[in-house]
Amino acid sequence: MKSIIAALVFAIGTLTVAVAAADSSGITVEHAWARASPKGAVTGGAYVTIINNGSSDDRLLGVSSPAAERIQFHSETNDNGIAKMVQLQTIDVPAGGSFTFKPGGTHMMMTGLKQPLREGESVQLLLRFEKAGTVEATARIGKIAAMSDPGNQAGSAN
């Protein structure tokens, strides 16, 4: 009987360790998408939802892509009908919380595009977090003025 209890305690101990390891980075990136760039444009908008199911706060430090020279975070505010963009250095993603980049709100601005962003194609994003490290996401490219993830639109042309 004693040996069975010992085995059980050992099994539970192992399980706890496994859960703790998975919990150390609870960051997932969902709904990565971008807007098609108009002809000749050198900038483009990219959007993701970051979910933090971990037990500690994390912070998005930067994003890069092989398709752009750099990616900035811009928050957009409406000041008496005039849209203003302010650059943010980092994005906080609290434990148990999430952050959504979206058109008209905080967005990722790809600058120095190396190739046009074409609807129906995709672009790689590398998100660098303070604790979770680098998380890769594939952004689907939607229409020029798309307002949401093209993968989520009913009646998508794809």
List residues binding Cu ion (CB under 5 A): 74, 85, 109
Using alpha carbons, list the distances in angstroms from residue 107 to 12, 15, 86, 119, 127: 44, 39, 10, 18, 14
Nearest to 43 by CA among 124, 111, 144, 115: 111
Q: How far apart are CA 135 and CA 29, in angstroms?
A: 8
Q: How far apart are CA 6 and CA 4, in angstroms?
A: 5
User: For residues 61 and 85, which CB has a smaller minimum distance to Cu ion in the complex?
Assistant: 85
Q: Minimum CB separation from Cu ion for residue 50, in Å? A: 18
Q: Minimum CB separation from Cu ion for residue 42, in Å? A: 13
- Chain position whose Cβ is nearest to Cu ion: 74
User: For residues 20 and 88, which CB has a smaller minimum distance to Cu ion in the complex?
Assistant: 88
User: For residues 74 and 128, which CB has a smaller minimum distance to Cu ion in the complex?
Assistant: 74
Q: Minimum CB separation from Cu ion for residue 38, in Å? A: 15
